């Protein structure tokens, strides 16, 4: 079974631009969660989508948004990029219906650099 696929792996953008990251979950998984990883803040939760609906949201500004499609693939968008948005963005998929023991499987991440 294929794992979680994130594209692209690397991105370089300039301040003020916007960016879209893509995540394809494991087949059969209906939940997709997004995390931002930085050396200073560690791993922080952005949001989670389940069956095309945002189910949970972290404490990030409205410039960060996401969506999920009917095939469970998800995208996240960051508008008006700031230098501080430089980070590794990780996507994780899970069944979404197994309760608190649900295992999240992570992709390799997209490394975003904002210049």
Partner 1 sequence: AQSVTQLGSHVSVSEGALVLLRCNYSSSVPPYLFWYVQYPNQGLQLLLKYTSAATLVKGINGFEAEFKKSETSFHLTKPSAHMSDAAEYFCAVIRGSTLGRLYFGRGTQLTVWP
Q: Residue numbers of the site for partner 1 (CB under 8 A)?
A: 4, 6, 31, 33, 35, 42-43, 45, 48, 50, 55-56, 58, 90, 92, 94, 96, 99-109
Q: What are phi and psi of 84, to 5 degrees?
A: -70, -5
Question: Whose Cβ is closer to partner 1: residue 62's or residue 99's?
Answer: 99
Take residue 1 and report the two structure tokens written for it. Answer: 């079974």
In the complex, the smallest distance separating the C-beta of residue 54 from partner 1, rounded to whole angstroms, is 10
Strand order in the sheet with 74-78: 5-7, 19-24, 74-78, 64-68
Question: Whose Cβ is closer to partner 1: residue 109's or residue 112's?
Answer: 109
Question: Whose Cβ is closer to partner 1: residue 12's or residue 43's?
Answer: 43
In the complex, the smallest distance separating the C-beta of residue 16 from partner 1, rounded to whole angstroms, is 28
Question: Whose Cβ is closer to partner 1: residue 24's or residue 104's?
Answer: 104
In the complex, the smallest distance separating the C-beta of residue 14 from partner 1, rounded to whole angstroms, is 23
Beta partners for 50? 31, 53
In the complex, the smallest distance separating the C-beta of residue 20 from partner 1, rounded to whole angstroms, is 19
Q: Is 104 helix (H, G, I), strand (E, B) or coil?
A: coil
Residue recorded with tokens 């050396």: 39
16 contact partners, CB below 8 Å, separation of at least 6: 80, 81
């Amino acid at each position: 079974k294929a794992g979680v696929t994130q594209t692209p792996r690397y991105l370089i953008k300039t301040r003020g631009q916007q960016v879209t990251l893509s995540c394809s979950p494991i087949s059969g998984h209906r939940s997709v969660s997004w995390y931002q990883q930085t050396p200073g803040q560690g791993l922080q939760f952005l949001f989670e989508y389940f069956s095309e609906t945002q189910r949970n949201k972290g404490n990030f500004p409205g410039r960060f948004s996401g969506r999920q499609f009917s095939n469970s693939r998800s995208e996240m968008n960051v508008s008006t990029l700031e230098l501080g948005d430089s980070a590794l963005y990780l996507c994780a998929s899970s069944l979404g219906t197994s309760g608190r023991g649900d295992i999240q499987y992570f992709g390799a991440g997209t490394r975003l650099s904002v210049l």
